[in-house]
Amino acid sequence: MATFINAVLCVCVLLVFGTCGTMCESVVPGFYVFGDSLVDNGNNNYLTMSLAKADFPHNGIDYPTGEATGRFSNGKNAADFLAEKVGQPSAPPYLSLVSKSKKLSSTNEVVTGVNFASGAATILNPTDELFQKSIPLTKQVGFYFLVHDELIKQMGLDGAQAHLTKSIFLIVIGSNDLFGYFNEDSEVSKQYTPQQYVDLLASTLKGLMKQMYVLGARKFVISGVGVIGCCPAQRKHNALNECNLEANYLSIRYNEGLKAMLRDLKTELSDINYSYFDTYYVMSVLIQNPLSYGITEIEAACCGLGNLKADIPCIPISTYCSNRKNHLFWDLYHPTETVSSMFAGLIYNGSQEVTTPMNVEELVKL
């Protein structure tokens, strides 16, 4: 516990005095992001039918431009901060590269990285794909196939493979699949027991990572699911604003399955390496000892309306807190920029208490 506390306090100091130095030098050739709204930086802006969007105020109020970009945050998200630490710019949203009939061949941005993440994305394919509300992980990996082909065109087969072998592949997903299990009209809860369901999620993710491996990916950064039952959207259903213990228990079971899957994958494919971030543990420590990290509000969202500011999401008519740095949650689901920066700092150089079997700083040196 002490190691974690010291690490987070160090991150907090970096937030005040800056994060540059040697870590801002480029240490990886490419940074490729897959996942959900925790790391989406604008892909859903291009999905006409999607309701999971953040391209409007008050989102982005603390972003460098002061404008909403499609990030579900008051500022940057964890993928932005981690990209900085490995010396790369924030990867452009994939759909921004192919919008308005623009072709990947018209840009060399794919070399330094691409963000495929999508708000509301899931590991399992949704049943209502008639309307494209998000980009599920299977489709994100399909988009990566196209980027891989473009890298070969630009760099040649050997050059592309050498590039991808040293690149980082960040995967942050799973929360929406778990939330879906508890929906009133959930079909999956009728089909699977909780254990069967989390096993299915882990095995599906394993298959997708193997596809990425075939196309060059060797260094993975995988984030476990956080304490999802303690987000404002879940707390508001309890008269005492307490966490949803059933949702948290499912998160624990999924994370255990995810760690076991990663160990098995390493056994099967010995030349891959990975860093697993224990988001659940980190969030639990923050919730139990918030004042130690400058957090004074762990229950209510900063932006929204109603009970815990979670009855209505962060939209232009919502109100927002004046001090975003002391809130754990920006809106009813997502962390503030400050907390995302803390997470990224620990992903990069945290101890084995929070990153296993290594942190990203160690991963990039392999």
The pLDDT averaged over each successive group of 10 residues in the chain (366 residues) is: 47 40 67 98 94 96 98 98 96 90 70 96 78 88 96 95 98 97 87 96 98 98 98 96 96 98 98 98 98 97 98 98 98 98 98 97 97
User: Has 163 been annotated as catalytic?
Assistant: no
Tell me whether residue 167 is in a domain: yes
Domain that holds residue 135: 2-14+27-363
Tell me whether residue 20 is in a domain: no
Tell me whether residue 339 is in a domain: yes
Tell me whether residue 22 is in a domain: no
CA–CA distance, 19 with 25 (Å, rounded to integer): 11
Tell me whether residue 108 is in a domain: yes
Residue 13's nearest CA partner among 25, 2, 5, 3 is 5
CA–CA distance, 184 with 340 (Å, rounded to integer): 30
So what's the pLDDT on residue 126?
84
List the catalytic residue out of 37, 50, 223, 275: 37
So what's the pLDDT on residue 17?
33
**CATH for 286:** 3.40.50.1110
So what's the pLDDT on residue 101?
58
User: Has 334 been annotated as catalytic?
Assistant: yes
CA–CA distance, 226 with 179 (Å, rounded to integer): 12
So what's the pLDDT on residue 14?
41
308: left (phi over 0), alpha (psi -120 to 50) or beta: left
List the catalytic residue out of 163, 334, 340, 341: 334
Give me the residue label for tokens 């995988």.
222
User: Has 37 been annotated as catalytic?
Assistant: yes
**274, 217 Cβ separation under 8 angstroms:** no
So what's the pLDDT on residue 25?
61
List the catalytic residue out of 80, 177, 278, 331: 331
- The pairs formed by 343-346 with CB atoms below 8 angstroms and a separation of 24 or more are 343/78, 343/81, 343/277, 343/279, 343/282, 344/78, 344/80, 344/81, 344/82, 344/85, 345/7, 345/8, 345/10, 345/11, 345/14, 345/19, 345/81, 345/85, 346/4, 346/7, 346/8, 346/11, 346/277, 346/282
Residue 10's nearest CA partner among 364, 363, 366, 361 is 361
In the chain, the number of structural domains is 1
So what's the pLDDT on residue 142?
97
Contacts of 144 (CB under 8 A, 6+ apart): 32, 34, 114, 116, 212, 215
